[in-house]
Amino acid sequence: MVATSAIENPRRDAGGIMLHRLALISVIGLALTSAPSAISAADLEGAGATFPYPLYEQWFKAYSTLTQNTVSYEGVGSGEGVTAILDRSVDFGATDVFLDDGQLQSAGAPLIHIPTCLGAVAITYNLPGIPELRFTPDLIAAIFSGEVTRWNDRRIADVNPGLRFPDQAITVVHRTDASGTTHIFTDFLSGTSLRWREEVGTGNTVGWPVGQGAEGNAGLVDLVKGTEGSIGYVQYAYADAHEMPVAAIRNQAAYFIKPTVDSLTAAARVKLPDDARLMLTNTDAPDGYPITSFSYVVMWAEQKVAGQSRKDAEALVQLWWWAIHDGQALNEELGYAPLPRNAVIRAENALRMITYGGAPLNLN
């Protein structure tokens, strides 16, 4: 397969403060020595979500070191990831939004969802002198719909008592590409604001009432960082990697919660369907962060469907078997939560269902 280059990268330029962190991650990655044995070197290709890109980048580097298999991944957004797997142009598509029943039925052959990690959509902002902010769901909807337009609006002050806000316009920043991060964020807003649900709705793309657009999580980070008075939504790992502030958001239990490994894990303590297709937004867990989501990879249940060789098919399932087990050791350092045990079981069962010419594949 033709290797593709990743167009998204949350890391900073050489000499930036990410260097120490990346060195640590590399050490962790090299320590993951329990990998399946490669039959022979394989070249795998995936495309899709930018939401898990920081994690996937490190997974694939570590896995390639262990097995000599190469994994190329292009972060082009969840929508493009789904298109790529349906077009059979990649070995796996990555998406933060699972395919619905209609999409699965029209695919032409069975597809398998593998949950890979837990992540969060964070609210980040550029407001010098105010490093800590809190938001209610209604207030977020009011800002992103253009109802609240200035930082000194009383509704912001009421949620953040004791802070003095500038008389400055709010610049909303949103994604322009077909984005799973957008779907997660708008799903949360649709579930907590009737007006948002009726006027804007949920989707990988929506008709934004106000704001400036950016492509990809990295593009949104750059625009917020360069625009004083701005606010946007971004996968937490990107905000964390660039040391950007993230807001505490009020959940159903009326607690203001920030994204952390513990708060993401709390949000995922739910009963999962057999195929693990479930939105986790607006959790009722008292200690759960309310904009939490699984990220998924999607692949064909019968690998001959895409003209795949058995060698590459076997390497593909071994890659993801490793990722849902040993690979999870990298999650926390990169701003993600490891899969809960119930999700690992669902992922294991899904990988066991993948065949080549009707025969099961070797997982390790």
117-152 pLDDT per residue, tens = 999 999 999 999 998 999 999 999 999 999 999 999
pLDDT confidence of residue 283: 94
Mean pLDDT of 223-230: 98
* Percent residues over pLDDT 70 in the chain: 89
Interval 31-59 mean pLDDT: 79
Return the pLDDT at 169. Answer: 98
Q: What is the pLDDT of residue 267?
A: 96
pLDDT for the residue 37: 52
Is 45:2 a contact under the CB 8 Å cutoff? Answer: yes
Higher confidence at residue 268 or residue 22?
268
**pLDDT, position 31:** 43
40 versus 319: which is more confidently predicted? 319
Residue 10 pLDDT: 40
**Confidence class of residue 6 from pLDDT cuts 50, 70 and 90?**
very low
What's the confidence (pLDDT) of residue 270?
A: 92
Decide: 192 and 186 in contact? Cβ < 8 Å.
Answer: no
Q: Are 224 and 173 in contact (CB under 8 A)?
A: yes
Confidence category of residue 306, pLDDT binned at 50, 70, 90: confident
pLDDT at residue 358, as a whole number:
95
pLDDT class of 308 with cuts at 50, 70, 90? confident
pLDDT attached to residue 29: 47
Averaged pLDDT for residues 271-277: 94
Asked whether the predicted pLDDT for residue 115 surpasses 60, the reply is yes
Going by pLDDT thresholds of 50, 70 and 90, the confidence category of residue 35 is: low
Q: If you average pLDDT over residues 218-231, what whole number do you get?
A: 97
Give the separation between CA 159 and CA 142, rounded to whole angstroms.
13
pLDDT for the residue 260: 95
Question: In the predicted model, what is the mean pLDDT of the chain?
Answer: 90
Is the pLDDT assigned to residue 24 strictly greater than 60?
Answer: no
Is 80 exceeded by the pLDDT of residue 17?
no
**CA–CA dist 200, 159 (Å, integer):** 24
pLDDT of residue 131: 87
* Strand-strand pairing, 256-257 and 248-250: antiparallel
* Whole-angstrom distance, CA of residue 340 vs CA of residue 267: 10
**Token pair belonging to 136:** 């209610």
What pLDDT sits at residue 13?
A: 35
Which of the 8 DSSP states describes residue 272? Answer: P
**This prediction's pTM:** 0.86
pLDDT of residue 210: 98
**In a 3-state reduction of DSSP, which class is residue 248?**
strand
The beta-strand segments (E) located in 76-110 are 92-95
pLDDT tens digits, one per residue of 187-211: 999 999 999 999 999 999 999 999 9
